[in-house]
Structure 1
Amino acid sequence: MSDAWEIKRRLTEAINTHDLHQVLGFYSPDAVLVTPAGIAEGHEQIGWFYDQLFMGFPDYHQMAWLEAPGDDPLVTEWTFTGTHLGPLLLPDGRELPGTGRRITVRASCVAYVADDLIITHRDYYDQLELYSQLGLGLTELDQPAT
């Protein structure tokens, strides 16, 4: 049996090299990835998520700066960086073309490993922090009729 932290660190290396095949090898076939952008279940959906991330940010990189003690769950604080050069799917279904803007976003994640595979991976980050760095802002919604 491998060390759970070593699996998580090797996943980060695979993400940083954008090796989608290797990334998926760290996830259980029925794993669940939860992010502020949505939920991906299984290799096909998780692969789609990372593929979109790598296309939108061809130089995407994440760097852990804190690994909390313990291994059930694995808790990490990290920063992700990249240059937005490709399309990015927005929560409302629109696609934001590459802006050329550089991003640096603080994040944290929680992962559970069983039988040497990640079964649940939850990323947490402030979407407003990301979108404001991409040049998007808040807009006021129409007020409901009273």
Structure 2
Amino acid sequence: MKRLFFLLCCSFILNCQSQSQTVKAIDAENGKDYFVEKWKFIGETYKDGEVDKVYPLHECTKQNTLLFEKEREDIFFTKNFASGKNCEVKSSSARNLITIKGSSFSYMDADLKENKQFKIISKNKFSILYSDIIYGKVTDIEDTYERQ
């Protein structure tokens, strides 16, 4: 029984290390260029106590995207939204200069400076981590995006 437990623990540790190395390799290899592309919003989870729960998405929300573009050495991004009865109303945020440092990015949104943490999940997925109010409580939220 002890051997089985030991083998499971070793397997778990090795698996976590390989995922961590993959993320570091992506970050070191691509740096800021990792984000340059169009990303589709694919899911949102939130903390309810110690439990991660999936937030139900409206059909229009599933059409939201982020567009990261590179000009010279600068990175810009635009948020694109869908709304309306049949998601027919399309709108976009201003094109914002974004600064990426470590595992966070910052930008001006109108007259407010936004700072967001991100997590690279794989070559084609990342998430943005932040706190907001869901069901009347401040909670940690993770929005996940997939490369298009």
TM-score range, shorter chain: 0.3 to 0.5
TM-score using structure 1 length: 0.35
| Larger strand percent | 2
TM-score using structure 2 length: 0.34
